[in-house]
Structure 1
Amino acid sequence: MNKIKCIVVDDEPLAISLLESYVQKIPFLELVFSTENPIEALDYIQKNESDLVFLDIQMPELTGINFMKILGDKLKYILTTAYSEYALEGYEHNIVDYLLKPISFERFYKSALKAQERFVINQNKENAYFFVKSSGQQHRINFEDILYVESIKDYVNIRTSEQEYIVLDTLKSMELQLPENSFVRIHKSFILNLYQIKNLGSKKVTLLSEQEIPIGESYRMNLLAKIK
């Protein structure tokens, strides 16, 4: 994966200097622009390629929340602020993490890792496959070969047309990594490949392989919407 192109926006020069130094210490991050003026940042983003914004919430010209409302999902955000009461509001938007000032490098690094994971997941969605670790080895799995994914306590079972892979992961994490246009959660314990459906009943799905998967009542409407 290429480096994540970062922008720092904060109305405090010392905060900018600190964040710049942190970004430069992390190999997979690349600082491309920093400014005390959020309007300048908006202008830069419209004209240049960038991926991630370290964004102060409380700024005089334009608040971080309004900044995100203007750009929407164009970029990902890590919010920075000295005021913890903004955390809940911030998480209503499309952000990776929330950093409370003063920010230690350890906390910053953890946040950067979250961003890296998010970008890797998005990159996987653009490919036709992903890699999973099972039985001590990395296995490449084509999305189209997956029949379903089943949750088994702290593991998931990725069942393909040929075999199954037991992976230390959560169903929620799998849901994020699989393409939204071809996979759907149909039960608290199952994610299904839509292209593997043969018959759809009121309480279960029959796959082309003749396997039957239960449908959770709370997931049924979403499944029907996906099929349509």
Structure 2
Amino acid sequence: MDKIKCLVVDDEPLAISLLGSYVQKIPFFELVFSSENPIEALDFIQNNEADLVFLDIQMPELTGINFMKIVGDKLKYILTTAYSEYALEGYEHNIVDYLLKPVSFERFYKSALKAQERFSFVENKTDSHFFVKSSGQQHRINFEDILYIESIKDYVNIKTANQEYIVLDTLKSLEQQLSEFSFARIHKSFMINLDQIKSIAAKKIILSSDHEIPIGDMYRENFLKRLK
């Protein structure tokens, strides 16, 4: 796997220095840009390749949340802040992890491993299968075998007819990676394999395995479009 190209965006010079030094210690990371000014970072992203942003939430020119809204799913994010109350809001976006300042290297390294897993999934995906890490092992999962994927806080449960795999990832991330295939998000906590649908009721999907998965109101319209 190529090195993950990282940006550090924080309005505190000491945080820039510390996080930059941490990034340079990680063999699969490459520091390509750092700045105290999020506007400069936006300009860099428009004109250069990047993968992951270590992003402060509280910045005077532009908050980290608004930064993510502008950049969108083009990049992945690890949020850094001194204020833990922002954690829940942050996890609504495409977040790999959330670091509370002051950040120790041990905690940073755990975030780096999360990021490596997330990017490794993208590289190990083909038209018929992908590999995921579960219970300390890499498992090959054929798309056709998947019934549904359920969100469980910071993890997802990938359910097949005979097995389930608990994976450190988010449903939003998998939705982005699998939407080009025969998968659709139908609920805030569920994504299903469209090829496994047995029948559709008013508020639920019955799969070939007879599992019943609820349909969320905000997902209904897009789901019906996918079926067409």
TM-score by length of 2: 0.72
User: 65-74 or 45-54: which moved more?
Assistant: 65-74
Distance in structure 1 (CA, Å) of the matches to 2:158 and 2:78: 30
**Deviation of the 1:103 alpha carbon:** 0.4
Residues 1:30 and 1:157: Cα distance change in structure 2 (over 3 Å): same
Please show how residues 121-140 of structure 1 align to structure 2 within 5 Å.
121-125=121-125, 127-131=127-131, 140=140
Q: SS of the residue aligned with 1:169?
A: strand
User: 99-108 or 72-81: which moved more?
Assistant: 72-81
CA contact (8 A) 2:146 2:159 kept: no
Residues 1:63 and 1:54: Cα distance change in structure 2 (over 3 Å): same
**Deviation of the 1:168 alpha carbon:** 4.7
CA contact (8 A) 2:146 2:158 kept: no
Residue 146 of structure 1 aligns with which residue?
145
Structure 1: which amino acid aligns with 2:183? F
Residue 109 of structure 1 aligns with which residue?
109
Residues 1:47 and 1:157: Cα distance change in structure 2 (over 3 Å): closer
User: Can you give the 5+ residue segments of structure 1 that lack an aligned partner in the other structure?
Assistant: none
- Deviations along 1:71-114, one digit per CA (max 9) or x if unpaired, are 12221111112222333332333222221111001111111222
Distance in structure 2 (CA, Å) of the matches to 1:111 and 1:74: 19
Structure 2: which amino acid aligns with 1:158? T
Residues 1:32 and 1:196: Cα distance change in structure 2 (over 3 Å): same
Residue 215 of structure 1 aligns with which residue?
212
**Identical pairs, percent:** 66
Residue 87 of structure 1 aligns with which residue?
87
**Deviation of the 1:146 alpha carbon:** 2.0
Residue 183 of structure 1 aligns with which residue?
183
Q: SS of the residue aligned with 1:65?
A: helix
Q: Which runs of 4+ in 1 moved over 6 A?
A: 172-175
Residue 5 of structure 1 aligns with which residue?
5
How many residue pairs get aligned? The number is 215
Distance in structure 2 (CA, Å) of the matches to 1:150 and 1:58: 33
Query: RMSD of aligned C-alpha atoms?
Result: 4.0
Does 2:36 align with 1:39?
no
Distance in structure 2 (CA, Å) of the matches to 1:194 and 1:182: 6
Residues 1:34 and 1:158: Cα distance change in structure 2 (over 3 Å): same
Structure 1: which amino acid aligns with 2:96? V
**Deviation of the 1:215 alpha carbon:** 2.9
Residue 158 of structure 1 aligns with which residue?
160
User: 59-68 or 125-134: which moved more?
Assistant: 125-134
User: Can you give the 5+ residue segments of structure 2 that lack an aligned partner in the other structure?
Assistant: 151-156
- Deviations along 1:23-81, one digit per CA (max 9) or x if unpaired, are 11111111111112212111111110001111112222222222222212221111112
Structure 2: which amino acid aligns with 1:67? F
**Deviation of the 1:9 alpha carbon:** 1.0
Distance in structure 2 (CA, Å) of the matches to 1:147 and 1:83: 39
Q: SS of the residue aligned with 1:62?
A: coil
**Deviation of the 1:191 alpha carbon:** 7.1
Residues 1:73 and 1:168: Cα distance change in structure 2 (over 3 Å): closer
Residue 194 of structure 2 aligns with which residue?
194
Residue 26 of structure 1 aligns with which residue?
26
Distance in structure 2 (CA, Å) of the matches to 1:35 and 1:55: 10
Structure 2: which amino acid aligns with 1:41? A
Distance in structure 2 (CA, Å) of the matches to 1:19 and 1:64: 16
